[in-house]
Amino acid sequence: MIRQIPGRVAMSAIAAFVCAVGFGCKDNGPKNYRVSGTVTYDGKPAKRGFITFEPDFEKGNSGPGGGCEIHDGAYSTPPGKGVVGGAYKVKIVAFDGIATTQSGEDLVDGKPLFPPFHTAIEFPPHDTTSDFDVPLKPR
């Protein structure tokens, strides 16, 4: 029996969720703007991971949202699949990028660097760059 890879499964599940609820996966609706930047932890690039941008409904942003993978500390949403501007909740999951086996499970993306990190940001209504430095002791 082939065992699933937890890190890859987690990222795939997040990506599927993002597309299933329509965050950044529709071609119609408001104009989406590209978001790119870096993700670091302890001053070092997060080798692998995923970042999601969820509209903050409590602050009047009705979406859509987006997300993409992190590779070698960098991320970039595809053109037209980013954010519309306004208040967003950001979630970051990252791995060390060193393939290993833990408790009989193959972790091709490596071990998690930290528990899922959550923060908030206000995006402008145009393409933008946002860098995230996850603190050593995430909130």
What is the rounded radius of gyration, in angstroms, for the C-alpha atoms of the chain?
15
Structural domain contains residue 138: no
Cα maximum dimension of the chain = 48
What total number of domains does the chain contain?
1
Letter string b/e over residues 99-119, b meaning 16 or more CB atoms within 10 A of that residue's CB: eeeeeeebbebbebbbeebee
Q: Which residue is it, tokens 């992190």?
A: 70
Query: Which bin fits 62, alpha (ψ -120 to 50), beta or left (φ > 0)?
Result: alpha
Any idea what the CATH number is for the domain that residue 19 is in? Answer: 2.60.40
- pTM (2 decimals)? 0.74
List, for residues 93-130, the tens digit of each pLDDT value. 999 888 888 788 887 788 899 999 999 999 999 999 99
Structural domain contains residue 135: no
CB atoms within 10 A of CB 50: 26
List, for residues 57-89, the tens digit of each pLDDT value. 999 998 888 999 999 999 999 987 889 999 999
Structural domain contains residue 1: no
